[in-house]
Amino acid sequence: METRFWHKNYDYNVPTTVRYPSIPVHELVHIAASIVPNKPALNLYGSEITFNDLRRQVVRMANALSGLGVRKGDRVGVHLPNSPQYVIAYYGAMSLGAIVVNLNPMYTAEELKGLSENTGLNTLFTFDMVLPNIRNLCENVEIKNVIVTKITDYINGFEVSTPEELGLKESWHHFSRLLESSTSTVPPRVTVTPQDPGLIQFTGGTTGLPKGAVLTHRNILAATMHANLWGSHLNNNTPVEQRNVLAMLPFFHVYGDIVVLNWAMFNCATMILVPRFDIEEIMGMLESIPRIQFFPAVPTMIGAILNHPKAESMEFDKKIGLLNSGGAPCPMSLIERAKALNICFGEGWGMSETTAMGIANPNLGLKKPGSIGIPVPDNDIRIVDPNDGVTEVKQGERGELLIKGPQVMSGYWENPEETANQLKDGWLYTGDVAIQDEDGYVFLVDRTKDMIIASGYNIYPREIDEVLYRHPKVAEAAAIGVPDEYRGETIKAFITLKPGESATEEEIIEFCKDKLAAYKRPKVVEFRETIPKSAVGKVLRKNLRAEEEAKSAKKE
């Protein structure tokens, strides 16, 4: 079979191979500021920062960090919602050749402790609403520099917070004060090459402990180029002054990092920042914005918006240039709903390990219902027998999806064993079971791993099991994903109790509260005499899932 035979289905303006810029990621800020210095780069609830102002703040923050002793290769945690502070911290750290560690603001102190220890964080950017967790974290882990902000500090009309008001420790730094004290707008003279690591993006693991995918500056640039070129029909026909993106996807998630943050910087697009997803707030926001050129989201968000009572009257067909779905499989009913509202819709597939990009449906070309599309430029895929991981299956047969391309990670942070398991000769073993048809289109059919995808977040059940096992009354536990119309999947825990013990569903859910982020907590608990296991005693999650599927089929 000819290699890359799917190229014939590329849109007319998408190249089959790309010359990637040999620059570090933070150069994108300088390039945008040179092209459109006075255009708003960021809009937070109506308060704007131009590209030139943003560049100056990024450089000043880089110099401030340098003054705090941050050096090339140091790990800098960014533990913030979508905000100007996130953007300044991210590009400021990269300007020094430091490695950004993306941290979900919803993580508990316990989760943060594991990730901080794993990466050896030197510096942490965080915010007022999570300070109890950070105080707890800093009692257990030594982090040299802690920099705290209040999100409203960047909204006009709000008083800027003070260190005293936030109750900061004496050794901690206040974001705005730190920036104010750094006046030099001369960029740091640090050589950062495309091969240098730029980002550690945590993903779940079969062991239950998250693994940090190390993404180089080249990985991030390649993925940004893929996202840009794939939707170039839209950009080519949108004047630079009118380019914008709704920044609703969290930047701490790889999908938001590439298709919002870096895509916007590359395209000189204004980011309309959304720090949290509140459906009524979003609908109000959408009503007031006349035009959104690019709107990337996860199916949960799309479902909430398109099925909202106001959706019919919002004239989305005029408002949205391109609605893009990723992060989890998009239900066909939702794609049909977008079509019914005359919204231009695209869908793609990627992982933290592939810097969010990999396979996507053409925007102007052939789309196949239920397919995630075809590989993006410079990518190759193989579908292999999951039993040996080597033999390629026949076209149309199921196998594990392998992918190779310039956006595939360099490995897992300080985890050579997992790197060797999942990366062989540049081929990433995705753990997804897929079929490829005669036109090169890929259809996902299952997962070799037991990952749960709820609201676009990847959740690994083993991590939930580990917490449940710590409950003094629990003998055995197994978490699975069960279909949920709104979240895609929701978490159900199966539990057997120790002899003579009794417990309630509420008690188990409450126990998980301070140990797991809200989206990882079980929503339903079923108590059982036994949990199905294989001959070697391995919990058979697939049996539990099959039982749940049979139950929901009966209801229908």
User: For the segment 400-429, what is each residue's pLDDT rounded down to a tens digit?
Assistant: 999 999 999 999 999 999 999 999 999 999
Please list the alpha-helical segments (H only) found in 109-260: 109-119, 131-140, 163-166, 175-181, 217-230, 232-236, 254-256
Domain range for 417: 379-447
> Apex CA 234: angle with CA 269 and CA 346, to 5°?
105
Q: Which residue has the tokens 């058979």?
A: 540
For 336, the enclosing helix (H) or strand (E) is: helix 332-340
Closest among 297, 373, 378, 386 to 338, alpha carbons compared: 297
pLDDT band at residue 446 under the 50/70/90 scheme:
low
Cα end-to-end span (Å), the chain? 43
Q: Residue 432 is part of a domain; what is its CATH number?
A: 2.30.38.10
Same domain, 544 and 470: yes
Determine whether 414 is exposed, middle or buried from the number of CB atoms within 10 Å of its CB (0-12, 13-18, 19+).
Answer: middle
Taking the alpha carbons of 501, 506, 511, 516 in that order, is the dihedral positive or negative? positive
Name the domain boundary from 447, 465, 491: 447
| CA–CA dist 496, 471 (Å, integer) | 11
Closest among 361, 355, 281, 283 to 319, alpha carbons compared: 283
Same domain, 164 and 188: yes
Tokens of 105: 């603001």
Same domain, 437 and 539: no
Q: Which residue has the tokens 């509260």?
A: 513
User: Partners of 50 in the beta sheet?
Assistant: 40
Domain count, the chain: 3
Same domain, 434 and 461: no
Tokens of 163: 């260190």
Same domain, 390 and 428: yes
Same domain, 432 and 462: no
DSSP-derived secondary structure letter, 253: S
Q: Which residue has the tokens 């990882």?
A: 520
Tokens of 392: 């390629």
Residue 286 located in a structural domain:
no
Residue 36 located in a structural domain:
no
How far is it between the farthest Cα atoms of the chain?
Answer: 71
pLDDT band at residue 207 under the 50/70/90 scheme:
very low
Name the domain boundary from 150, 171, 192: 192
DSSP letters, 283-303, are HHHHHH-S-EEEEEE-HHHHH
Q: Look up the pTM and report it.
A: 0.86
| Average pLDDT, rounded, for the chain | 93
Amino acid letter at 298? V
Is residue 195 over pLDDT 80? yes
pLDDT band at residue 555 under the 50/70/90 scheme:
confident
Q: Which residue has the tokens 């569903």?
A: 505
DSSP letters, 112-129, are HHHHHHHHT-SEEEEEGG
Is residue 534 over pLDDT 70? no
DSSP-derived secondary structure letter, 376: P
Indicate the SS3 state at residue 204: coil
- The pLDDT of residue 206 is 40
Taking the alpha carbons of 304, 229, 219, 90 in that order, is the dihedral positive or negative? negative
Instruction: Output the CA–CA distances (angstroms, integers) from residue 488 to 251, 300, 367, in the order listed.
Output: 21, 7, 22
Mean pLDDT calculated for residue range 480-499? 89
Residue 519 located in a structural domain:
yes
Mean pLDDT calculated for residue range 116-122? 96
Name the domain boundary from 170, 192, 214: 192
pLDDT in tens, 234-275: 989 999 999 999 999 999 999 999 999 999 999 999 999 999
Is residue 462 over pLDDT 50? yes
Indicate the SS3 state at residue 423: strand
Can you give the three-state secondary structure of 469-493, one letter per residue? HCCCCEEEEEEEEEEECCCEEEEEE
Residue 284 located in a structural domain:
no
Residue 264 located in a structural domain:
no
Same domain, 459 and 435: no
Same domain, 407 and 486: no
- The pLDDT of residue 387 is 79
Residue 414 located in a structural domain:
yes
Q: Residue 91 is part of a domain; what is its CATH number?
A: 3.40.50.980
Cβ–Cβ under 8 Å, residues 517 and 114: no
Residue 336 located in a structural domain:
no
Tokens of 283: 């609908």
Q: Which residue has the tokens 């030139």?
A: 52
Instruction: Output the CA–CA distances (angstroms, integers) from residue 351 to 72, 97, 203, 403, in the order listed.
Output: 26, 24, 9, 11
pLDDT band at residue 448 under the 50/70/90 scheme:
low
Cβ–Cβ under 8 Å, residues 295 and 323: yes
Is residue 1 over pLDDT 60? no
Indicate the SS3 state at residue 446: strand
- Most confident stretch, 91-105, 379-393, 540-554: 91-105
Tokens of 171: 């050794």
Residue 105 located in a structural domain:
yes
Mean pLDDT calculated for residue range 40-46? 97
Tokens of 271: 């980011």
Same domain, 494 and 540: yes
Same domain, 182 and 144: yes
Indicate the SS3 state at residue 500: coil
Amino acid letter at 537? G
Q: Classify strands 123-127 and 145-149 as parallel, antiparallel or unpaired.
A: parallel
Closest among 72, 83, 94 to 23, alpha carbons compared: 94
Tokens of 282: 């979003």
Report, in angstroms and rounded to the nearest whole number, the Rg of the chain calculated over CA atoms.
Answer: 23
Q: Residue 460 is part of a domain; what is its CATH number?
A: 3.30.300.30
pLDDT band at residue 3 under the 50/70/90 scheme:
confident
Tokens of 124: 């942490």
- The pLDDT of residue 362 is 95
Same domain, 54 and 187: yes
Tokens of 520: 């990882």
- The pLDDT of residue 210 is 80
| CA–CA dist 220, 408 (Å, integer) | 9
Same domain, 426 and 550: no
Mean pLDDT calculated for residue range 509-525? 94
Mean pLDDT calculated for residue range 31-56? 98
| CA–CA dist 36, 51 (Å, integer) | 7
- The pLDDT of residue 2 is 65
Amino acid letter at 151? I
- The pLDDT of residue 194 is 97
